[in-house]
Amino acid sequence: MKFFVEKLMRVLMVLSLLLVFGFVISIIFTIFSKGWSAMSWDMITKLPGGGFYIGKEGGFLNAIVGSLYIVGASTLLGLFISIPVVFYLNIYLKKNSKLAYVTRLAYDVLFGIPSIVYGAFAFTIMIYLGIKASLLGGIIVITLLIIPIFVRSMDEVAKEFPREILDATYSLGATRLETIRVVVRQIAPGIATATLLSIGRAIGDAAAVMFTAGYTDSIPTSLSQPAATLPLAVFFQLSSPIAEVQDRAYAAALVLTVIVLILSLLGRYFTNRFSKNKLK
Amino acid sequence: MSTKSSFNSLYNRYSHWRESAAVRRGKMFRPDYKFIRKSDESELVVEDLNVYIKNNHILKNINLTIPDKKITCVIGPSGCGKSTLLKTFNRLIDSVEGVKLDGKVLIDGEDIIHSGTEITELRRKMGLISQRPCPLPMSIFENVAYGCRIHGIRMRRKLNMIVQHYLKAAGLWDEVKDRLRTPATRLSIGQQQRLCLARSLAVEPQFILADEATSALDPISSKIIEDLFVKLKENYSIIMVTHTLHQALRIADYVVFMYLGEVIEAGDAQSVFNNPQHELTKKYLSGAFS
C-alpha cells in the first residue's frame, strides 16, 4: 500500500511537471507557427513604414528599442533604489522592528497591485503636472512597478544573511555602512534572481506603459518623447482586422520571448558566477 | 608593457597622493603599518564590570588585570559568561538586544565602556577570532585586504605586501599563494580559521580575543593554531576562552576561572593549576563538573 501511494504520487508529480512544460511548449509553438511567416530581417531592423499597419513595408524596431530603453533604465533605477531599502531593512533595523514590518507589508501590497492601476495613477499625476506621454514617464512607472519585486525577492535572501558574517565584519572595525560590500556579495545570487524577475515583468507589461509611454513609430531621441514598446506592438497589431498585421503581432511576441529567453540565460550564467564566493 | 606599467605607476602615485591628502586633512584614519609591531605596553584592566541582558545579571563585579604579551586563558563551565566577557572587550555585545553595561574596562588607561568610545577603532585594536571560522564571501586575498581597505589603505602594492605578510604570519601563505583569487570558502575549515587569524592581524590589533578558536577544528588544525598563538604572544596579548582544560594547561601563562558570571580565581597558570586556592576551582580542575 505504501509503495502504491509512493508510485501514485510520483506519477502525479511528473504529470504536473509535464503540464507546465506542455504549457511552455504550446505557447512557443503557437507564437512560432503564426509569427514565423511574418518574421524577417526587415521586421527587426526597420521602423514602420507609411503603410505598416495595413500590411505594407517596415518593421517594429521602434518597439524593440523602446522596450529595451525602458527596461534597461528602469532596472538600473530599481536596483539603485531597492538595494538601499533591503540593506536598511536587514542591517539597520532590528529583527522585530515595527518599521520593517510596515515596510514589508507595504511592499506586499504594492506587489499585488495590477499594473493598469500603476498606469492610471501615473497618468493622473502626469495630467496634473501637464506632462505628455513620454519615455521618462514609462521609465518611472515601470520602475515603480518593479521596485516591490526587487525588494521582496532580495529581502527573502537577505533575511537569511548569516549573523556571523556581520559579527566578523564588525569585529574588524567596520561601520554598518561599510558592511554593504560584504552583504551585497553574499546576497549577489538573490540580486541576480530579483533582477531577472523584474526584467521579465518590466518587458512584458503593456498596461502600465499604455498611458505613460504612449506609442510612436520612431525611436525616441530624448526622454520627453513618447516611446513604443513590444507588448503594445503586439496589442495594437493583434486588434487589427488584417490577417498579415495579426501575424506581425505574433512576430513581435516571438521577438519578446526570445529577448526574455536570452536575458534569462544570461541571468543564470551570472547567478552561477556571482554565487561562487557565497558562504554556505 | 610600457603603457600598462606607466599607467600603474601613475595610478599608484595618484592613490598615494589621494591617501596622504586625506590623512593630512584628518579625514581618513591610517594605522601605522609596521611589519614588526613595536612592543609597546598594552594593558587591559577591568574594574567592577557588570553586564545585564534583559534583567539577567550575566557578569557580576568582574575585576581583572590582563597581563601584557601573555596568553590568558579564560576557563569555566558553559554559560558562565566567558564569551560575554570577550564580547564586552570589543563591544560586539552592543548588538545584543537589551544589554546594559556598568563599570570600567580600561585599555591603555582609556575607558571603553562609556558611550563616547570610537567603536570601530576599538574593534580594530581587539582582533576577534570566533568559534567557527567565518570567511567573508570574497576571495582569499580580499578577505585579508578587506580590513585594511575599510581603514583607508587603497594602494595596491601596499595591500599586496600586507596580505602576503599576514598570510605568512598565520602560516597559510605557502598553501594559498597560488590561489589567492579563489573563494575563501573553498579552503578547509582549519585553513579558514588561519585565514580569519590573518584577517584579524592585518588590521594591526593589540589584543587577540579567541573565543574557543579551536573547538570546531580537528586535532591537527587546532595544534597549528595553538602553536601560532604561542608564537604570536611575542607581539600581541592573547585572551582566549577555552572549554578544554588540556589546552589551557598546554599554553596558558595566566588563567582566569569563571563560574556563574563571577571571577572565582585568577593568577599565574602554574599557581592556579598546581595550587588552586578556591574550593570551586579545585573541583573544576579535578573534573567534578565541566
How does pLDDT run along chain A (280 residues), one tens digit per residue? 889 999 999 999 999 999 999 998 999 899 888 888 888 888 888 888 777 777 677 788 889 999 999 999 999 999 999 999 999 999 998 888 899 999 999 999 999 999 999 999 999 998 898 888 899 999 999 999 999 999 999 999 998 888 889 889 999 988 889 999 899 888 888 888 899 889 988 998 888 888 888 888 888 888 888 899 999 989 988 888 888 888 888 999 999 999 998 988 888 888 887 777 777 6
Reported confidence tier of residue B3, pLDDT bands at 50, 70, 90:
low
- pLDDT at residue B123 above 70? yes
A172 to B147: CB separation less than 8 angstroms, yes or no:
yes
Q: Which of A168, A178, A277 is the closest to B183 by Cβ?
A: A277
Contacts of A24 (CB under 8 A, 6+ apart): none
Q: Which three cell numbers stand for residue B222?
A: 587546532
Q: Is B8 on the interface with A (CB under 8 A)?
A: no
**Which residues, numbered 71 to 130 in chain B, qualify as contacts with chain A under a Cβ-Cβ cut-off of 8 Å?**
90, 92, 95, 97, 120-124, 126-128, 130
Instruction: Report the residue of chain B nearest A163, measured CA to CA.
Output: B134
B97 to A94: CB separation less than 8 angstroms, yes or no:
yes
Among A185, A89, A178, CA closest to B136: A185
Q: Is B203 on the interface with A (CB under 8 A)?
A: yes
CATH number of A45-276: 1.10.3720.10
Instruction: Report the residue of chain B nearest A275, measured CA to CA.
Output: B137
- Exposure of B103 in the CB half-sphere (CA atoms within 13 A): 20
A164 to B126: CB separation less than 8 angstroms, yes or no:
no
Distance (Å, rounded) from C-alpha A86 to C-alpha B103? 37
Chain B interface, best mutation among A172, A179, A182, by max B CB count within 10 A: A172
B185 to A279: CB separation less than 8 angstroms, yes or no:
yes
Q: Is A185 on the interface with B (CB under 8 A)?
A: yes
Q: Is B136 on the interface with A (CB under 8 A)?
A: yes
Instruction: Report the residue of chain B nearest A168, measured CA to CA.
Output: B134
**Amino acid identity of B38?**
K
Q: How would you list the strands of the sheet with B71-75, edge to edge?
A: B126-129, B207-211, B237-241, B71-75, B254-259, B262-268
pLDDT at residue B12, rounded to an integer: 65
B130 to A280: CB separation less than 8 angstroms, yes or no:
no
A173 to B121: CB separation less than 8 angstroms, yes or no:
yes
Question: Please, what is the average pLDDT of chain A?
Answer: 89
| Runs of H (alpha helix) within A36-95 | 41-45, 61-87
Task: Report yes or no: B59 and B85 within 8 Å, Cβ to Cβ.
Answer: yes
CB contacts of A276 in chain B (<8 Å) are 183
Phi-psi region of B261 (alpha: psi -120 to 50; beta: other; left: phi over 0): left
Q: How would you list the strands of the sheet with B99-107, edge to edge?
A: B56-66, B44-53, B99-107, B110-111
**Which residues, numbered 157 to 176 in chain A, qualify as contacts with chain B under a Cβ-Cβ cut-off of 8 Å?**
162, 164-175
CB contacts of A166 in chain B (<8 Å) are 95
pLDDT at residue B192, rounded to an integer: 93
Distance (Å, rounded) from C-alpha B232 to C-alpha A35? 72
Task: Report yes or no: A75 and A199 within 8 Å, Cβ to Cβ.
Answer: yes
pLDDT in tens, A92-121: 988 888 999 999 999 999 999 999 999 999
Q: Which of B25-29, B55-59, B154-158 has the highest mean pLDDT?
A: B55-59
Among B207, B201, B32, CA closest to B108: B207
Q: Which of A167, A174, A279 is the closest to B150 by Cβ?
A: A174
Q: Is A279 on the interface with B (CB under 8 A)?
A: yes
Q: Which of B137, B139, B203 is the closest to A173 by Cβ?
A: B203
Tell me the pTM: 0.80
Task: Report yes or no: B144 and B135 within 8 Å, Cβ to Cβ.
Answer: no
Q: Which three cell numbers stand for residue B147?
A: 580590513
Task: Report yes or no: A257 and A31 within 8 Å, Cβ to Cβ.
Answer: yes
ipTM of the complex: 0.80
Domain layout of chain A by residue ranges: 2-38, 45-276
Q: Which three cell numbers stand for residue B139?
A: 576571495
B200 to A94: CB separation less than 8 angstroms, yes or no:
no
CB contacts of A165 in chain B (<8 Å) are 134, 136-137
A167 to B121: CB separation less than 8 angstroms, yes or no:
no
Q: Which of B120, B130, B134 is the closest to A175 by Cβ?
A: B120
Q: Which three cell numbers stand for residue A140?
A: 518611472
A173 to B151: CB separation less than 8 angstroms, yes or no:
yes
A169 to B136: CB separation less than 8 angstroms, yes or no:
yes
pLDDT in tens, B166-195: 998 888 999 998 999 899 988 999 999 999
B130 to A279: CB separation less than 8 angstroms, yes or no:
no
Question: How big is the A-B interface in CB pairs under 8 Å?
Answer: 79
pLDDT at residue B33, rounded to an integer: 46
